[in-house]
């Protein structure tokens, strides 16, 4: 009896250790013919196919991907689902982009049916990109979070999300009232946090959109709800930092605004952190905050170049964020290609092992979920992506010329996109199959 067993066969990549520590290539564990065995949403076996297959019943079904590459599912540590429809909006820097595109678009989420429709499309697009966990910003509307959580529950995705909190410096229809949005957030925590694979993030949009009172109320709510998350933005652009300095003149730094309100610590995820000072770089490590590196967005909006290697050398937990709609798509592979370019512009080189780490185990560490997701190992949740290095003629040609497994992985991140995602498995279940006809949500 197979008793719910399912195997995936193909070459596989996971990690021996953090590739930012020591020799990057040695950290990458490549199994040329692997078998991943799953049951009840959990990996129960992983290793060389010839050895692992003998440990399980002969009639266990196995999905074989002879040309495929199996990886832990991708983790998007910073993404705005309401902005999906303005991805690639033209010609603005961050603050003008918010005013011209983001706020008018998010106002449309006052319509609950619209929120539900975009949530369905967004989560399907995540699966098409190979993403199985995401840390997601909703809008100020309570039902925008309800819509996302309900659809994520139906699909079995691991989602961390929250209603945005704003009480100033935005259009009136997007501002929380005198209660700072805390009662609505409290209701959402009660409904969704810890329900299945869903987790709640208290979500002050960014310091300029929140008064001191609102930030303090959010910090108290986090204290009152252990196990919840905080997500917000930090030092994305120099203009934003100057604005924070004007609004919070008594604070020693941008991060200090959050720390004073009780919003910095383990399970707090700071988006961008492009222009952090040396002081804040080490303060982030001491506090235990995670950081979401959003290279596509930082390039597209002209925000700056994140100091990835400095952040890792300082001991920060760093994951990867698409930041849609500031970024240009949900594809983790394309985002990794942009991360490589950002590193090169800073005079560094992002090894493919380091890149895959950011998208998997690094993201899990930033979200404090490394004991559940991010690697291929028995006991981990069975979230996986199968990549196809033959997805396009150009990628197939480049793969054919690759010198070793790490070079083949680099080809995927340099030339790949959603087309290179052959299949996505969520909690051991096939949730996306590129070859299957899927109706549009």
What are the tens digits of pLDDT across the range 32-55? Answer: 999 999 999 999 999 999 999 999
Q: Helix and strand tally (H, E) in the chain?
A: 18, 16
Give residue 408's region: left, alpha or beta (phi > 0; psi -120 to 50): alpha
- Residues 310-324 have pLDDT tens digits of 999 999 999 999 999
Reply yes or no: is the peptide bond before residue 325 cis, omega within 30 of 0.
yes
Instruction: Report if residue 60 sits inside a domain.
Output: yes
- pLDDT of 437 reads 60
DSSP 271-321: EE-TT--HHHHHHHHHHT-EEEE-HHHHHHTT-----HHHHHHTT-EEEE-
Same domain, 29 and 124: no
Same domain, 126 and 68: no
Same domain, 326 and 221: yes
Among 310, 330, 350, the domain boundary falls at 330
22 burial type by CB count under 10 A (0-12 exposed, 13-18 middle, 19+ buried)? exposed
Instruction: Report if residue 368 sits inside a domain.
Output: no
Same domain, 174 and 307: yes
Does the pLDDT value for residue 440 go beyond 60?
Answer: no
Distance CA 145, CA 159 (A): 11
Split at pLDDT 50, 70, 90, the class of 92 is: confident
- pLDDT of 439 reads 46
- Report the share of the chain in percent with pLDDT over 70: 98
- Residues 116-160 have pLDDT tens digits of 999 999 999 999 999 999 999 999 999 999 999 999 999 999 999
- pLDDT of 142 reads 98
Distance CA 284, CA 289 (A): 5
Average pLDDT score over the chain: 96
Instruction: Report if residue 428 sits inside a domain.
Output: yes
Instruction: Report if residue 213 sits inside a domain.
Output: yes
Does the pLDDT value for residue 441 go beyond 70?
Answer: no
Same domain, 80 and 127: yes
Same domain, 230 and 296: yes
Distance CA 9, CA 330 (A): 26
Same domain, 96 and 170: yes
Among 330, 358, 389, the domain boundary falls at 330
- Residues 388-424 have pLDDT tens digits of 999 999 999 999 999 999 999 999 999 999 999 999 9
Same domain, 215 and 82: yes
Nearest of 255, 354, 341 to residue 312 by alpha carbon: 354
Distances (CA, A) of 259 to 19, 100, 253, 256: 30, 30, 10, 5
Does the pLDDT value for residue 435 go beyond 50?
Answer: yes
Does the pLDDT value for residue 93 go beyond 60?
Answer: yes
Instruction: Report if residue 369 sits inside a domain.
Output: no
Structural tokens at position 247: 């609004």
Distance CA 337, CA 222 (A): 35
Average pLDDT over residues 181-199: 98
Same domain, 281 and 424: no
Split at pLDDT 50, 70, 90, the class of 2 is: low
Find tokens 């199985």 and name the residue. Answer: 132
Does the pLDDT value for residue 433 go beyond 50?
Answer: yes
- Residues 238-275 have pLDDT tens digits of 999 999 999 999 999 999 999 999 999 999 999 999 99
Same domain, 164 and 235: yes
Same domain, 45 and 97: no
Distance CA 113, CA 117 (A): 6
Whole-prediction pTM: 0.97
Do 321 and 294 form a contact (C-beta atoms < 8 A)?
Answer: yes
Q: Determine the structural domain holding residue 94 and report its residue range.
A: 74-330
Task: State the pairing for strand pair 198-204/429-433.
Answer: unpaired
Same domain, 192 and 65: no
- pLDDT of 3 reads 76
Q: What is the CATH number of the domain that holds 385?
A: 2.30.40.10
Among 264, 297, 330, the domain boundary falls at 330
Three-state DSSP at 14 gives strand
109 secondary structure, DSSP code: G
Q: What is the CATH number of the domain that holds 325?
A: 3.20.20.140
Instruction: Report if residue 252 sits inside a domain.
Output: yes
Instruction: Report if residue 356 sits inside a domain.
Output: no
- Report the share of the chain in percent with pLDDT over 90: 95
- pLDDT of 426 reads 98
């Amino acid at each position: 009896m197979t008793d719910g067993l399912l195997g995936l066969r193909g070459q596989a990549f996971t990690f021996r250790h953090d590739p930012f520590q020591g020799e990057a290539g040695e950290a990458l564990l490549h199994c040329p013919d692997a078998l991943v065995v799953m049951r009840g949403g959990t990996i129960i076996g992983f290793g060389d196919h010839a050895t692992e297959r003998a440990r399980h019943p002969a009639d266990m079904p196995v999905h074989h991907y002879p040309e495929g590459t199996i990886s832990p599912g991708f983790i998007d540590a910073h993404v705005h689902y309401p902005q999906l429809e303005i991805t690639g909006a033209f010609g603005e820097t961050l603050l003008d982009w918010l005013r011209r595109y983001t706020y008018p678009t998010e106002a449309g989420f006052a319509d609950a049916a619209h929120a539900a429709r975009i949530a369905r499309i967004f989560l399907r697009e995540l699966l098409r990109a190979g993403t199985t966990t995401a840390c997601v910003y909703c809008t100020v509307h309570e039902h925008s979070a309800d819509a996302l959580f309900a659809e994520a529950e139906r699909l079995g995705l691991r989602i961390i999300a929250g209603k945005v909190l704003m009480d100033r410096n935005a259009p009136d229809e997007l501002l929380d009232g005198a209660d700072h949005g805390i009662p609505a957030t409290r209701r959402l925590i009660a409904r969704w946090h810890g329900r299945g694979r869903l987790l709640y993030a208290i979500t002050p949009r960014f310091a300029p959109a929140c008064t001191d009172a609102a930030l303090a109320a959010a910090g108290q709510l986090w204290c009152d709800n252990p196990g919840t998350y905080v997500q917000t933005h930090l030092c994305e652009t120099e203009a934003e930092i100057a604005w924070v300095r004007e609004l919070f003149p008594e604070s020693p730094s941008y991060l200090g605004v959050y720390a004073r309100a009780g919003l910095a610590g383990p399970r707090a995820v700071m988006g961008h952190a492009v222009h952090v000072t040396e002081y804040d770089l080490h303060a982030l490590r001491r506090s235990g905050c995670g950081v979401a590196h959003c290279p596509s967005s930082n390039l597209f909006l002209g925000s700056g170049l994140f100091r990835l290697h400095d952040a890792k050398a300082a001991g920060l937990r760093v994951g990867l964020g698409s930041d849609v709609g500031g970024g240009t798509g949900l594809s983790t592979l394309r985002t990794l290609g942009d991360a490589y370019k950002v590193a090169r512009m800073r005079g560094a080189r992002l090894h493919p092992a380091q890149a895959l780490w950011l998208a998997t185990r690094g993201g899990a560490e930033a979200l404090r979920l490394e004991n559940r997701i991010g690697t291929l190992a028995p006991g981990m949740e069975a979230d996986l992506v199968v990549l196809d290095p033959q997805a396009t003629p150009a990628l197939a040609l480049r793969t054919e010329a690759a010198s070793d497994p790490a070079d083949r992985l680099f080809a995927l991140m340099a030339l790949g996109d959603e087309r290179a995602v052959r299949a996505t498995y969520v909690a051991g279940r096939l949730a996306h199959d590129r070859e299957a006809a899927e109706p549009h949500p």
